[in-house]
Amino acid sequence: RIAYVNGRYVPHATAGVHVEDRGLQFSDGVYEVIAIAGGRPIDMTGHMERLARSLRELRIAMPMPARPLRMVMREVVRRNRVRNGIVYLQVNRGVYRRDHPFPPAAVPPSLVVTARSGLGPSAAVTEEGVRVVTVPDQRWARRDIKSVALLPNVLAKQAAREAGAYEAWQVDADGAVTEGTSTNAWIVTRDGTLVTRPLGDDILAGITRHTLIALARADGIPVEQRAFTVDEAKAAREAFTSSTTLLALPVVRIDDAVVANGAPGSITRRLRELYHIHMA
């Protein structure tokens, strides 16, 4: 396997950043995960726009213009012979003697790109649906930035796995679900309306979320962007969780409550179908 690190294509096994990289020391960086399906990137424009926004919000420079950056990603995908998988990209504020304030403007950001085959959970998991557990949302107040500072997400995901669940849905002080640790959260109400939390600084603007809303609307499925509580989710007709890697993954249990009859719902299935057409 091959990785790209700061201008070089290097063996993945020994690829690394400098010990004084601010990504390592301060989690001072941002990332993107882009799906590759049939050898092609999915929703690349959306991911690039979100990357530019994350960098702008943190005042980190773009490591290179968008076009060459896309070429680097294409090259990493090619060199790793990825047909279906993901490309991972991370930009850190750069390498400098450890000190909290930004380094001088002349210090370039660092860029790492990797790619690997394999996209999403097994067909069996997708067919059956998964369980999520709910946990308090302990993250910072700028979850709209795709920061690599993911410690609360890591702890919540680990708690989910230790409870035998696939994902943790994080809950705000009002009892409303914000999002998963690496996914956006959705329900379908009794009357067949798709509900997901509105964009703001309390969730990440998922690219899959954006695409799913567009696909649903075009298919005549009503969409409402509003917060929903854990109780509402437990009583919902369907639930699912979305990301670049999972698409729309059916959720059939929330904590100890079974969602509807405990099987993936028809609207979730329909959205997966539409998403596969979108990727083809």
Tell me which residues touch ligand PDD (CB under 6 A): 33, 179, 182-184, 204, 206-209, 242-245
Q: Report whether 148 contacts 29 (CB < 8 A).
A: yes
How far is C-alpha 275 from the geometric centre of its chain's CA atoms?
A: 16
Q: Is 144 exposed, middle or buried (0-12, 13-18, 19+ CB in 10 A)?
A: middle
DSSP state of 270: H
110 versus 244: smaller Cβ distance to ligand PDD: 244
114 versus 245: smaller Cβ distance to ligand PDD: 245
Q: How far is the CB of 180 from ligand PDD (least distance, A)?
A: 6
Is 146 annotated as catalytic? yes
73 versus 204: smaller Cβ distance to ligand PDD: 204
CA–CA separation, 142 and 149 (whole Å)? 11
Residue type, 58: L
185 versus 254: smaller Cβ distance to ligand PDD: 185
Kindly list the distances between the CA atom of residue 135 and the CA atoms of 74, 158, 210, 230, 252, in Å, as whole numbers in the listed order. Answer: 38, 11, 25, 10, 17
- Of 137, 183, 184, 131, the closest CA to residue 156 belongs to 137
Catalytic residue among 93, 146, 157, 209: 146
Q: How far is the CB of 243 from ligand PDD (least distance, A)?
A: 4
Q: How far is the CB of 19 from ligand PDD (least distance, A)?
A: 24
Q: How far is the CB of 15 from ligand PDD (least distance, A)?
A: 19
CA–CA separation, 80 and 55 (whole Å)? 27
CA–CA separation, 191 and 188 (whole Å)? 8
Q: How far is the CB of 103 from ligand PDD (least distance, A)?
A: 26
CA–CA separation, 277 and 261 (whole Å)? 27
CA–CA separation, 12 and 10 (whole Å)? 6
30 versus 95: smaller Cβ distance to ligand PDD: 30
Instruction: At 205, give phi and psi (nearest 5°).
Output: -80, 85
Active site residues: 146
